[in-house]
Amino acid sequence: MRRRLLTGIALGALLAAATPVGAQDVKVGILVPGSQTDKGFMQSAYGGAKKVEETYGTKGKVQVIENINYADMEQALTQLATNNKFVVAVSGASQAAMTKVSKRFPDVKFNLVGGAKITEATNMAQYDMRQAEINFVSGAVAAMSSKTGTVSFVAGLEIPGVVNASKEFEKGAKYARPDIKTIVVFTGSFDDVAKAKEATLATIAQGADVHVHVMNKGLPGIEQAAREKGTKMIGGPLPACGSDPLYIAYSRTGVGYLVDYAVKSFVEGTWKPGPASFGLKAGPEASDMVLCGTPDAAIKAKVDEIKKAIIDGKIVTLDG
C-alpha cells in the first residue's frame, strides 16, 4: 500500500464560519484508490485535494492514501478513520468498505464521492456525481460524430454507477440518432491496459469509430487501439482539448470539485449525512460536455438542447 501525506490544509477563514471546526481539529483523510496520473477520475480527485490545500492554508493537514488494491480498501479506510475526523473516499468501488467502516467509527464523518444512493446513514454522506447523466450527453455526441454508425462504451468494473453510465450512453446515442449501433464492454479492470486495448479493438472490428470510456490506468489501452485504427474518443473527466487529436470532446465530471466541496462543508460546519445529487444542475465545475476545436453547429445545438432538457427535468436519467 503506497501512501502520501499532504501537509498544509486548514483554516484561514474557519473562525468566520457559523459552526467552525477548531484549528487543532482539522484532520481529514482522503482515499483515492487509483493512480493520480490516470488522466481521469483519480487525477481529478487529487486536483480536489490540492485545491483544499491551496484554499485553507498551512496549519492543518490532510492524509491521503492512494493507488491501492480493492481488497485493501477496508484496511485503508480504517487507518484514515483512526487518524482523522473526516474521511472522503472516491469511486463506487469504495462504497462497501466505507459503509462497513463508518459503522465502526460513529464519531467520524465519512463522505463517498460516487457510488450508489445510500438510504440511511447517520455519519456518512454520498455524493452522486451524475456520471450516468453526462454519459447520456456523451452518447449523443458520439452518435452524431460517428461516420460508421457504430459507437462503443468501454469500462472497467461492472459496478452499479458504471453500469448506469453505460445504459445512459446507449440511451443518449439513440436519442440523438435512432439508427445508431452501440457496443458496451466491461473489461473487469479499470487499470489493465492490455484488456482495455483488446476490448476496444474488438469494438472497432465491429465498426465502432467513436469510443467513450470509464477507465483509470487502463485508459492508454483504449488510446493505443484508437490511434492504431484511426478512430476517435470522447474523454473525461478532465477536459484537455488540443492535447491529443484523438479526442473530439470531453465530459467533465467534477470529482475533484466534489472532494473540495465535501471538505469545505466539513470545515465550515455545513456538512450533512445522507445522499446529495450534483450533475449538470450544479454548474460546469460539477458536470459539463466540452466540444473540442470548432464544433459542428448542429452538434453544439443538440448538446445545448439535451443539457437544458436534463436540467429542466424533461430528460430523466439513472442515478450514479
Which one has a higher pLDDT value, 10 or 315? 315
Residue type, 270: T
pLDDT in tens, 149-182: 999 999 999 988 899 999 999 999 999 999 999 9
- The Cα 90–Cα 215 span in angstroms is 14
DSSP bridge pairs for 237: none
- Residue 237's φ and ψ, nearest 5 degrees, are -95, 5
The dihedral region occupied by 7, where left means phi > 0, alpha psi between -120 and 50, and beta the remainder, is beta
Domain map of the chain by residue range?
A: 2-129+255-277, 131-252+287-311
Q: How many CB atoms lie within 10 A of CB 68?
A: 18
Using left for φ > 0, alpha for ψ between -120 and 50, and beta otherwise, residue 39 falls in left
pLDDT tens, 40-68? 778 888 788 778 767 664 556 778 888 88
Contact 232, 220 (CB under 8 A): no
- pLDDT score, position 51: 80
CA dihedral defined by 94, 99, 103, 105, rounded to 10 degrees?
Answer: 30
Name the 3-class secondary structure at 62: strand
Q: What are phi and psi of 98, to 5 degrees?
A: -65, -40
Q: Indicate the DSSP class of residue 177.
A: -
Q: Residue 181 to residues 33, 149, 191, 200, 298: CA-CA distances in angstroms? A: 34, 6, 27, 15, 20
Of 39-48, 178-187, 207-216, 249-258, the least confident: 39-48
Q: Which three cell numbers stand for residue 223?
A: 488510446
DSSP-H helix ranges across the chain: 41-56, 73-83, 95-104, 131-145, 160-176, 193-205, 219-229, 255-268, 297-311
Grid coordinates in use for 298? Answer: 448542429
Homologous superfamily (CATH) of 131-252+287-311 is: Response regulator (3.40.50.2300)
304's CB contacts (< 8 A; 6+ apart) are none
Q: Tell me, what's the pLDDT at 176? A: 98
Residue 294: Cβ within 10 Å count: 7
Using alpha carbons, select from 267, 254, 261, 285 the residue that is nearest to residue 56: 267
Cα–Cα distance between 47 and 19 in angstroms, integer? 27
Q: What digits encode the pLDDT tens for the residues 87-97?
A: 999 988 899 99
Tell me how far apart the alpha carbons of residues 107 and 12 are, in angstroms, rounded to a whole number.
Answer: 25
All residues at 6 or more sequence positions from 76 whose CB lies less than 8 Å from its CB, including other chains: 1, 31, 33, 65, 68, 97
What local confidence, expressed as pLDDT, does residue 31 receive? 92
pTM, two decimals, is 0.80
The HSE-up count of residue 24 (CA atoms within 13 Å, CB side) is 0
Same fold, 2-129+255-277 and 131-252+287-311: yes
> CATH code for 2-129+255-277?
3.40.50.2300
